[in-house]
Amino acid sequence: MVAALLIRPLVRPFTEFFRREAASGIVLLISALLALLLANTSWGPARYFPALWDQHLRLAIGGFVLDHTLLQWINDGLMTIFFLIVGLEIKREVLAGELASPRQAALPIAGALGGMLVPALLFALFNHGTPTAGGWGIPMATDIAFALAVLQLLGARVPLGLKVFLTALAIVDDLGAVLVIAGFYTKELHPQYLYLALGTWGLLLLFNWLRVRTLWAYLPLGLVLWYFMLESGIHATLAGVLLAVAIPFRIPFGRAELLHRVDERLALLRAENHELGADPWVISEELEDLYQRSSSPAQRLEYQLHSVVSFWVIP
């Protein structure tokens, strides 16, 4: 008890920082500055920084072996989680948010297409006939992580509509760039793994159609999908987007029934509290149970992954 009282004042500033909307943007920018410093100096531990990315991490289970460099694990592994939450966010906006109508979605999609085509055409124009002409796909990608980090730094001062527009534009642009990489820059394609990936995705979509709502039916198959995409030669981060498409977003009841259930549960809690003096933890558990029953698997997964992606994956 005494230890908790002593530690709490020390921990509170960090807790409050990570609750702030701009915190993830601050962490990302600090990480980027630190990476630039380490990559461009030879002082102290910076000398070993470039070689760090070439270190191999090996996962072996029986005869199953995955052996990749640290950089590959980040680009193909952690960034898949990032694209998963990005896919969940844009799916939410398309189905029930700012992009629910074609008119609302048209502007960011058009902006993203322009942001991909114009840089690629300019690059091709200035590099035509040179050895670097094949790099036309490089300027197509917007750095979505930094684009969203700037928005986070501005916090509540940015209107919701602008946030959704820029987020959708960056996402469509980045997904388009990934598709270009998959279609034009894949060195070696293994069709058998691609067919297995499509079959796995089809099974995930079948679960959605059958209204399977437990996340544990989707996440293990999501890992299988990621492995097949990785082995197919196509950018493995596409597995995150495909998994997001398959995870159900709709809640099990309509608006009127949901409000009725909330009112009913709150009335019972008020009655119990008036008659028996219900403990706060009982009320909390009841509300948590109501949330679990009324929220969609996509909502729950997005909430669970948000802090992990913001403070660990992206930086």
Do 237 and 202 share a structural domain? yes
Instruction: Find the angle CA(10)-CA(13)-CA(15) to the nearest 5 degrees.
Output: 100
Per-residue pLDDT of the chain (315 residues; tens, 9 = 90+): 444 444 444 444 434 434 455 677 777 788 888 877 777 777 656 667 667 778 888 888 877 778 888 888 888 888 888 888 878 877 887 777 667 777 777 888 888 888 888 888 999 898 888 888 888 877 877 666 677 677 777 766 777 777 777 777 777 777 777 777 777 777 778 889 999 999 999 999 999 999 888 888 899 999 999 999 998 888 888 888 899 999 988 776 666 666 776 676 667 666 665 555 555 566 666 666 666 666 778 888 877 887 777 777 776
pLDDT (0 to 100) of residue 43? 67
> Would residue 150 count as lying in a domain?
yes
Residues 273 and 139 in one domain: no
Same domain, 167 and 272: no
Residues 242 and 309 in one domain: yes
Q: What is the pLDDT of residue 280?
A: 59
259 assigned to some structural domain: yes
Query: What is the number of structural domains in the chain?
Result: 2
- The answer to whether residue 199 is domain-embedded is yes
Q: Where are the alpha helices (DSSP H) in the chain?
A: 2-19, 23-39, 49-52, 70-72, 79-96, 102-127, 144-154, 160-184, 191-209, 219-232, 238-246, 255-276, 280-294, 297-308
Question: Is 208 a member of any domain?
Answer: yes
Instruction: Based on the fold, state whether residues 28 and 117 are members of the same structural domain.
Output: yes
> Residue 244's Cα: distance from chain center in Å?
9
**In a shared domain, residues 266 and 168:** no
Q: What pLDDT is stored for residue 202 in this prediction?
A: 95
Query: Do 218 and 265 have their domain in common?
Result: no
The CATH number linked to 241 is 1.20.1530.10
Within a domain: residue 169?
yes
The answer on 188 and 173 residing in a single domain is yes
Q: Answer yes or no: do 157 and 132 share one domain.
A: yes
Q: What pLDDT, on the 0 to 100 scale, is given for residue 272?
A: 61
Which residues, in sequence order, are bridge partners of residue 57? 68
Do 220 and 264 reside in the same domain of the chain? no
Q: How many CA atoms lie within 13 A of 275 on its CB side?
A: 6
Considering the domain architecture, whether residues 142 and 262 belong to the same structural domain is answered as: no
Please state the pTM of the whole predicted model: 0.78
What is the span of the domain harbouring residue 32?
A: 18-45+70-251+295-313
- 114 & 235 share domain: yes
**Is 12 part of a structural domain of the chain?**
no
Give domain status of residue 4, yes or no: no
- Asked whether residue 64 is domain-assigned, the answer is no
